[in-house]
Structure 1
């Protein structure tokens, strides 16, 4: 070791070597600056007379509107028809209130009728009929739990309305009851002048029906109904082609039915109702059983 080396000089050399190893080339060589591109030289002005061009207007500058091709109207799914049942007695009286003051929970039934092109079917005639809170229809004998009820000569819970320009017809009535072998339902027909274009039925929610039938005196019977929506052959036949909803208002329930018909349809011959076949043999479980309770609620069956 050379003792003649200035210790201050050695320390400066050691620090310089150490920093270069830690920081790296960034301190060893400064970064070169990137030269900025030069702006292109202006072109020489053209010789000759100067012509002034008007600025384009905003309308001319805008892109031309895009032409959208309209799709043809979608053909609605026609509502499925089914049997009119044994208690149809012809067109009902023209009226909107068909309840005739009978006991029961107030119900409004609103039909929204469209044709095969999805246009409102104005002027269509709508017939509605159903049983009362005890499962009895007007106009027939041999009804009731004992078969001793005779309502011949009466017309309660039957009526007819013409649809307005929006295809709407509304009826004021009561929530229907039930009778053996059938779930809770409403009957209806749609007419185009003198021609029947649809005969069908609408089925009310099982859970709501069960509550009314077991809790309200107007509907309570000595036994439970034996058929639900999930075991009624006619309900299974119609399926989901009839679009409807049930809404609760302060003074009534409101049923809204969206019905699609073919104006040119011809009435099909009346066929016997389908067998209730999907129903298992024997009575349904009693109300207190878990099986019956679950069968009342969609998604739990």
Structure 2
């Protein structure tokens, strides 16, 4: 696959609050880009500016442009459907580069610690289509000491970073997934959402909407950003 590097020139979405919010002030969560667009166009929902959350220490620039980021790592299948909207107009943003990275089932990030030998697994970039949608094939993330379960995300538009955030999972679902191999071998995780120092600062708006799909799950969210 082709490596594609994006330069971090600026972070534009700094406000972390709501733009105009109907539907109880929640971000639009959808697993169907077309349905989500219709909901926005009909006025059933309004766009929300997605909160900025810390990049964390495990970012590596220049990740691969690809959909499947597993590289043979075992875990429960997870299909991610991430849609990027202009928070000012609610219109999808085509051609945005969505950049994700997360820990494996053992709690390791590629390029660091015990996993320093590889700098690419469970990392990747996809560009959004005409509906603002980017899709990834990955695994349900593992946990590591001091943090709840999460996926890191950056959104690049025109070479600039317009959003840095984290995506989260309902604790009850994580409890279910972690009963199976390879997660079960690690024992109980140390932090749940309500005790996580990042989640309590806006993480509720980064909760994925998840549904069962075969042996895995589909996780969806729409992210409102400023271009």
| Corresponding residue for residue 85 of structure 1 | 56
Change beyond 3 A, Cα 1:76–1:101 = same
TM-score, structure 2 normalization: 0.76
Change beyond 3 A, Cα 1:115–1:255 = same
Gapped regions of structure 2 (runs ≥ 5): 1-42
Gapped regions of structure 1 (runs ≥ 5): 1-71, 142-148, 264-301
Distance 2:169 2:198 in 1: 13
Distance 1:224 1:171 in 2: 27
| Corresponding residue for residue 115 of structure 1 | 86
Q: Larger radius of gyration, structure 1 or 2?
A: 1
| Corresponding residue for residue 36 of structure 2 | none
More strand per residue: 1 or 2? 2
Distance 2:191 2:75 in 1: 21
| Corresponding residue for residue 35 of structure 2 | none
Equivalent of residue 233 in structure 1, options 173, 197, 210 = 197
Deviations 1:126-151 (A, max 9, x none): 0011000010000112xxxxxxx142
Change beyond 3 A, Cα 1:217–1:241 = closer
Do the aligned partners of 1:243 and 1:258 also contact (CA within 8 Å) in 2?
A: no
TM-score, structure 1 normalization: 0.58
Do the aligned partners of 1:243 and 1:259 also contact (CA within 8 Å) in 2?
A: no
Distance 1:254 1:222 in 2: 24
CA RMSD after TM alignment: 2.0
1:165: how far off? Answer: 0.6
Distance 1:192 1:206 in 2: 32
Equivalent of residue 69 in structure 2, options 74, 89, 98 = 98
Change beyond 3 A, Cα 1:242–1:216 = closer
Equivalent of residue 248 in structure 1, options 191, 212, 217 = 212
Q: Does 1:151 align with 2:116?
A: yes
Residues paired across the two proteins, number: 185
| Corresponding residue for residue 173 of structure 1 | 138
Distance 2:207 2:77 in 1: 21
Distance 2:53 2:74 in 1: 29
